[in-house]
Amino acid sequence: MQIFNTLQIASAALKKNKGRTILTILGVVIGISSVTIIISAGDSFKQVIYGQIEGFGSNYINAEVRVPQSSGGTMSQAQGVVITTMTDDDRKEIMKLPHVDKAYSAITAQDIVSWQSQRKKALIYGLTADFVDIDSMEIDQGRFYTEEEDDDMAMVVVLGSGVKEELFGNNNAIGETVKIDKKSFKVIGVAKSRGAVFFLDMDDMVYMPLKTTQKLLLGVDYVIQIVSQIDDPSREEEVSESIRQVLRDRHDITDPNKDDFEVMGAAEAKDLMDTIIGGITLLLVALAAVSLVVGGVGIMNIMYATVAERTFEIGLRKSVGATKQDILRQFLYEAVIITFFGGIFGIAIGIAVTYLVHIGAQYYNFDWPFAISFVGLTLSFFFSIIVGLIFGLYPAKQAAELNPIMALRKE
């Protein structure tokens, strides 16, 4: 009953200064809504990345070129360095390993693709024929090229749906000839729309046989990536190590620090993304929490002003029997009430903004799920209450320590 009475007194005191109370609550709302939005964005981003990793399957291992860690150069010096040691022969050796079902090699280039008067800049993806069996890409029209066409350096391409749409519109692209680097290529297939994968628009790609890309387009022998499909995801770590050993043997590498490649499976990719996203989210939450602390400082300043304005009231209450604990509780409750409602409104606004972002992403055909972390919401809400208690404690103690006689003389 005493707690209820003190709450009533605290609520009544806040109602007397509605403008000041609302402004103080607003500071807490900004902090809590920021934390809510950031935590939800982190969860949504994690779901997007997980979905894209799972889209590749849980049974793949990716090997791609990289600048050796022991090269001694800086990051800026590493930019533009081309590693030419990985070749399609590496893929053929990897395919001999136990538990490796299939593998494809890849190289990329950017060029202008044209048909009649239409032109489009596209990413040229040079691939061995096994790509279509490993990747989640599906053919909408026509077909994918064969291993024989790759070996023969056939002048054929499969267009991403975006490239087809921009060049041909509603016209049939199969059998037509497009120009890339002044060379003619026959369109034999069109891929189904896939949207963005790891923020790369897969619909703006042109798929071409690896050897055709290497010899006729780029004039190189190397590849930048080898993706292997394994028969048992539980053997990912074992097969990954076997692939590393094959590449080290073929590249004459004895020191792992001098590896000119990086090998990573689906499970390892998920763990890495967990670490990266978790770290970024934690940093952003910490930055957002600063605004909540600023709101707490606002609460403390308002409480100091309130104590100064209500000195006579405090003296009067003490003179009729209110104890130090009663006064302390009253002012603490006022601070907690402010952060309580600030937390509620902040979470509501954070959820609303998160949902609006989700709706907006859907409107633009971007896969951004509506993800709310109830653990995160609970923690941020209780953090707001703790902020109220911490920043309201000292002004409340100051009010409780006032001498009633001196306080009454203030009037």
Q: Identify whether the C-beta of residue 316 lies closer than 8 Å to the C-beta of residue 49.
A: no
Adjacent-strand bridge partners of 110: 123
Considering the domain architecture, whether residues 71 and 22 belong to the same structural domain is answered as: no
- Give 212's pLDDT tier (boundaries 50, 70, 90): very high
- Alpha-carbon gap, residue 164 to 158, rounded angstroms: 9
281 and 240 within one domain: no
User: Do 185 and 303 have their domain in common?
Assistant: no
Whole-number percent of the chain with pLDDT over 70: 86
Q: Provide the residue range defining the domain that includes 201.
A: 67-259
Q: What is the pLDDT confidence band of residue 202, given thresholds at 50, 70 and 90?
A: confident
Residue 60 included in any domain: no
The stretch 390-411 carries a mean pLDDT of 71
One domain for residues 47 and 74: no
- 305 and 399 fall within a common domain: yes
- Whether 142 is in a domain gets the answer yes
Lowest mean pLDDT among 17-31, 157-171, 182-196: 17-31
The band of 3, judged by pLDDT with boundaries at 50, 70 and 90, is low
Whether residue 211 lies inside any domain: the answer is yes
238 and 321 fall within a common domain: no
Kindly state whether residues 240 and 291 are assigned to the same domain: no
User: Closest Cα to residue 238, out of 89, 66, 63, 100?
Assistant: 100
Instruction: Determine phi and psi for 303, rounding to 5 degrees.
Output: -65, -40
* Model-wide pTM > 0.85: no
- pLDDT at residue 86 in the model: 93
Same-domain pairing of 45 and 73: no
Angle at 365 between CA 361 and CA 368, to 5 degrees: 40
265 within domain boundaries: no
Burial code of 165-203, b = ≥16 C-beta within 10 A, e = fewer? Answer: bbbbeeeebeebebebeeeebebbbbbeebeebeeeebb
What's the rounded Cα separation, in Å, for the pair 202 and 122? 10
Which residue matches tokens 């981003």? Answer: 45
276: its two tokens = 């990266």
- Report the alpha-carbon distance of residue 318 to residue 14 in Å, rounded: 20
Choosing from 218, 234, 259, the residue where a domain stops is 259
Q: Among 27-41, 43-57, 190-204, which is the least confidently predicted range?
A: 43-57
**Same domain? 178 vs 291:** no
Distance of CA 32 to the CA centre of its chain: 20
Mean of all residue pLDDT scores within the chain = 82
b/e map 122-136, b = 16+ CB within 10 Å:
bbbbbbbbbbbebbe
Give the pLDDT confidence of 349-395 residue by residue, as tens digits: 989 998 898 888 777 767 777 888 787 788 888 888 888 888 888 77
Over residues 310-327, the mean pLDDT reads 74
264 domain-assigned: no
Q: What tens digit of pLDDT does each residue of 83-123 get?
A: 889 999 999 999 999 999 999 999 999 999 999 889 999 99
Number of domains making up the chain? 2
Is 57 within a domain? no
Residue 9 has pLDDT above 60, yes or no: no
Choose the final residue of a domain: 259, 290, 305. 259
Instruction: Among 217, 237, 259, give the residue marking a domain's end.
Output: 259
> Can you tell me the mean pLDDT for 338-358?
88
Residues 317 and 251 in one domain: no
Residue 78 pLDDT class (50, 70, 90 cuts): very low
Dist CA 392 CA 331 (whole Å): 7
Residue with tokens 């992403």: 361
Name the amino acid, one letter, at 383: F
Residues in the chain: 411
Q: What pLDDT band is residue 155 in, cutting at 50, 70 and 90?
A: very high
**Residue 385 maps to a domain:** yes
Give pLDDT, residue 73. Answer: 47
Residue 1: its pLDDT value, please?
A: 42
Range ranked top by mean pLDDT from 189-193, 198-202, 265-269, 339-343:
189-193
For residue 267, is it within any domain? no
Residues 241 and 337 in one domain: no
Model pLDDT, residue 99: 92
138 and 280 inside one domain: no
